A and B are shown apart, each in its own frame.
Chain A
Amino acid sequence: MSKYKTTIGIEIHCELKTGTKMFSGAPVKFGETANTCTSVVDLAMPGTLPSVNKEAVRLAIKACTGLHCDIDPLVKFDRKNYYYSDLPKGFQITQQFHPIGRDGYVEIETEEGSKRIRIERIHMEEDTAKQFHRETGTYIDFNRAGVPLVEIVSRPDMHSAEEAAAYVDTLRQILLYLNVSDVKMEEGSMRCDVNISLSADDSLGTKTEIKNLNSIANVQKAVAAEIERQSRILDEGGRVEQATRRYDESQKTTVLMRKKEGAVDYKYFPEPNIFPIQLDPVWIRDIQDSMEELPAARRARFMKDYGLGEYDAQVLVADPAMADYYEEAAKAAKDAKKTANWVIGDLSAALNRDNRTFANAGVAPEHLAQLVNLVADGTISGKQAKTVFEDMLSSGKEPAKIVEEKGMKQVTDEGAILALVTEVLDANPKSIEDYKAGKDRAIGFLVGQVMKKSRGTANPKRTNELIREELAKR
């Protein structure tokens, strides 16, 4: 544990899931051929003017609501002026003076329990073009130019790498649940900049900014590495230099991108081509009333309605498609907890192995429920269920049918099992001796033999009981 107090603030840029761009009608698509999703507006052809995308405003309102922000019903935009080849207009239209959302928060889960991280502001803006620096020159793809973004700025309320990662993950889940953004960090639809400073006392130290983090795991690793780096500098009596850094995965450390040499003056001023837009309170309320369930609410509901533990609820809810699948299955299943085990365990592993997703699982949720019920009924054993499950994955058949076809019904008939038990005991006098000599594990061997003879159809619990009864008689 560091002897310094760590202070972390995070800025997150999220691309909004709209069909068209923030200020033009060009389509928003990822992975298209360069410069095919653009318009004269995105290329800043002379004379073009911005038109605000209503859907982007709607999504921003959902984000604000999900993050408990106050919404400014008077939408205003400003210009942020700077020259860069990825910025066609020479200015970015953003919301510097009047962000659409202010003073929100999220609750994150930490080892010390849940903690509130305050959000300073959420504002809408447009993305820049993407640059590729090659040996033959710099190439610019304007497909990304003008894609709608929200920037979410936290207060410096985080104090460890774990908290930083938890904050990003919590935010990611909320935006995913609200269908506001794809939040794919690896594709850049969610990008985070982390500001970190260390201090030996209550004052704030010099901060560094880490950019271009492409996964939540890397957020945690990068912050941990940066805390370590800054601690070392301070230990040695040095001074941390204000700079922008990036995380190098192979070196497991942060490396310098550029020093901060005085603040850039962006000459912000109100965008004259967009008059302030007064949002209709009824429209805002309609958006808020029809919002999707948030992750925290869903977790609470899973724990209450399905009797799940906090861990199971968290794992399921983290992936909305998984949680949807689980709910479908749990509705028809007699044992919601066992259903959760199947979904989190075998099914997740199988989908992972086969490169599939819950949205396209191959096994219908009702079938999984049926499988759970067959075990609960005692129709098949847990072990048989695993075999049936593999068959379900490959054939897509319903489990009852598989059980029937394979003649897998569990034998619970006393007489039939007893006959097998007698047969096995007669054939294994050594094991009987061992048992009498106090070696309890002989039972396991004998049960195994009975199961083998029954080709797995004998009810293991009943078999065990009968063996003990028979041994006592011998």
Chain B
Amino acid sequence: MAFEQTVSVQESLRRIHDLQPELNAAVTVIDDAPETGIPVILKDNISTKGIRTTASSKILDNYVPVYDATIVTKLKEAGFTPVAKASMDELGMGGTNRNAATGPVHNAWDHDRISGGSSGGSAVLAARQAAPLAIGSDTGDSVRKPASYNGVIGVKPTYGRISRYGIIPYASSLDHVGYFTTTVRDAAAALEILAGRDDHDMTSSLEPVGHYEAELDPSLEGKTIAVFDTVADAVQDPVIRQAFADLVKKMEAAGAKIVHVSMPEQLMNLIAPVYKTIANSEAAANHSNLDGIRFGVRKPGESVEDVMTASRTAGFSSYVRARFVIGSYSLFEENQDRLFRKAQKIRRLISDAYAQMFDGVDAVICPAAPTVAPLLEESSDVRFGQDEFVEEHMQLANFTGYPSMVLPMGRENGLPFAVEIAAKPFAEQMMFDVAAGMEEILEETSHE
């Protein structure tokens, strides 16, 4: 049974408090949470009625939602008890979790390294077993990258599989609810709880939710697994390369049919600029509601317009403001054709190429990240034009909405790295099955 290894709510709260000086992972600890239930950690962009929800932005420092996100209701109904609101990159914008109003979150296994982001707080708390389930959101690998850096499972299901109602957005067409667990079985069980049509989210799917846990089948026999060569070949780290090669070999030995797929590098190199153009444009509009008028931190001003300007100037970090400027610039009438609309067109081309890799295969796998977690002082989110596709490739699943998850694949000097498993839309059962098969192999390997 899933979530058998859970800690009590009280123990969970104690662990979160104990970890706080080391990890700086929680924005709000829900000390008065009901004592019953399975503890769950929520990223701080998930609306919780009566509980402060800041999205790690100063402008929402005093914001207390009057409603629960759909997934919060679902979690409570399934017997879960929220115990903490976890730190994130401000409004989801970032991949390091350095850009949070409460300061950087530290890697679960090395204080000098980044947790990754934007769901960094949830990732490190899950990794240190403060709770068996932590919820995040994934706009451009924001669950899966920190999962890889911290050695936990990170899942991003199909777009529309989980309602986004009540999640403070980043970029609506790329945003997904995702989550962290420590076993594939828990991951399968969690999706059954979280998934399903929600009339409050018109993009949520009517596709029936599977019995992912009950039907979990770790057998790799007869499954066709595609190795995503374009990414796998671009990884430089010899430890990660070797671990991945070993895994593939063992999967083949376990009965999987291994094939190789690739994408044109020309398209791969466009992932980052296309992602940033679309994400920043949508974000600039999405966050226009944060003006200090109806909620949030209001700064004084002579007129309503002055109040808005003052509140937004003081309420966002310069990094976020820069993204809004870039987003607005891409949307200006005179720029849209060569920026926003062009990015949308290229997104379609990339998506078509990505979809082709899934022809006749059950899952596509590759290393999740090319390195272990970088050092805090060496990492940066400000690196326009310097992105390499080997870092950004997991955004392909955000472009297309395909389900994707990462599974810890090994450690290098004590620091985790992971393998990514992607499947066809709504083929989460297959994704979990393959992951379960890999999990068995990796467990045996670690005992060798």
Contacts and interface: CB of A to CB of B under 8 A. Distances in A.
Interface of A: 40, 43-52, 79, 81, 83, 85, 88-91, 138, 140, 265, 267, 269, 272-275
20 contacts: A40-B66, A43-B294, A44-B289, A45-B65, A45-B289, A46-B169, A46-B290, A47-B45, A47-B166, A48-B166, A81-B285, A85-B293, A85-B304, A90-B285, A90-B291, A138-B304, A140-B293, A267-B285, A267-B331, A273-B203
B151 to A, nearest CB: 30
A51 B197 CA distance: 13
B308 A49 contact: no
A47 B304 contact: no
A99 to B, nearest CB: 18
Contacts of A49: 164-165, 200-203
- Chain B interface helix/strand/loop/mixed: loop
Interface of B: 45-47, 53, 55, 60, 63, 65-67, 69, 164-169, 171-173, 199-203, 281-282, 284-285, 287-291, 293-295, 304-305, 308, 328, 331-333, 336, 340
Given A269-B331, A273-B172, A275-B202, A48 B165 contact: yes
Nearest to B175: A272
Contacts of B168: 46-47
Nearest to A138: B304
Nearest to A274: B202
B331 A50 contact: no
Contacts of B294: 43-45, 88
Nearest to B169: A47
Contacts of A85: 291, 293, 304-305, 308
A91 B336 contact: no
Nearest to B66: A40
A267 B295 CA distance: 25
Contact of B202 (A43, A52, A269): A52
Given A81-B288, A275-B202, A46 B66 contact: no
B81 to A, nearest CB: 21
A51 B53 CA distance: 23
B173 A46 contact: no
Nearest to B201: A49
A51 B166 CA distance: 13
Nearest to B204: A49
B63, B172, B202, B282, most chain A CB atoms within 10 A: B202
Nearest to A275: B203
Given A45-B66, A51-B202, A267-B328, A272 B282 contact: yes
Contact of A91 (B45, B171, B285): B285
Nearest to B303: A138
B289 A89 contact: yes
A46 B289 contact: yes
Given A47-B45, A47-B169, 15 more contacts: A45-B66, A47-B168, A49-B165, A49-B200, A81-B284, A83-B291, A85-B305, A85-B308, A88-B289, A265-B332, A267-B331, A269-B336, A269-B340, A272-B171, A273-B203
Contact of A83 (B169, B200, B305): B305
A90 B328 CA distance: 13
Given A47-B167, A83-B308, A88-B294, A273 B289 contact: no
Contacts of B332: 265, 267
Contacts of B200: 48-49, 51
A272 B65 contact: no
Q: Which 4 A-B pairs have the closest CB atoms?
A: A90-B288, A267-B331, A272-B172, A272-B173
B382 to A, nearest CB: 24
B404 to A, nearest CB: 20
Given A88-B294, A272-B173, A275-B203, A47 B69 contact: yes
A50 B165 CA distance: 9
Contacts of B165: 47-49
B288 A89 contact: yes
Contacts of B53: 46
A269 B304 contact: no
Contacts of B166: 47-48
Contacts of B167: 47
Contacts of A81: 284-285, 288, 331
Contacts of A267: 285, 328, 331-333, 336
A79 B168 CA distance: 18
A50 B291 CA distance: 19
A265 B334 CA distance: 9
A414 B133 CA distance: 105
A79 B285 contact: yes
Contacts of A43: 294-295
Contacts of B60: 46
Contacts of A138: 304
A44 B45 CA distance: 15
A89 B45 CA distance: 17
A138 B293 CA distance: 11
A45, A88, A91, most chain B CB atoms within 10 A: A45
A407 B293 CA distance: 74
A37 to B, nearest CB: 16
A138 B168 CA distance: 28
A138 B303 CA distance: 9
Contacts of A273: 172, 201-203
A267 B281 CA distance: 10
B446 to A, nearest CB: 40
Contact of B47 (A46, A79, A274, A275): A46
A89 B202 CA distance: 18
A79 B336 CA distance: 14
Nearest to A81: B285
Contacts of B63: 46
Contacts of A265: 332-333
Contacts of B304: 85, 138
A274 B333 CA distance: 22
Contacts of A40: 66-67
Given A47-B65, A47-B168, A269 B289 contact: no
B299 to A, nearest CB: 15
A50 B198 CA distance: 12
B338 to A, nearest CB: 14
A265 B332 CA distance: 7
A272 B66 CA distance: 25
B289 A90 contact: yes
Contacts of B281: 269
B379 to A, nearest CB: 28
Contacts of B65: 45-47
B144 to A, nearest CB: 21
Contacts of A46: 47, 53, 55, 60, 63, 65, 168-169, 289-290, 295
A138 B203 CA distance: 36
Nearest to A263: B333
A180 to B, nearest CB: 24
Nearest to A40: B67
A414 to B, nearest CB: 81
Contacts of B173: 272
Contacts of A51: 199-202
B310 to A, nearest CB: 13
Nearest to A131: B304
A182 B407 CA distance: 59
A433 B304 CA distance: 89
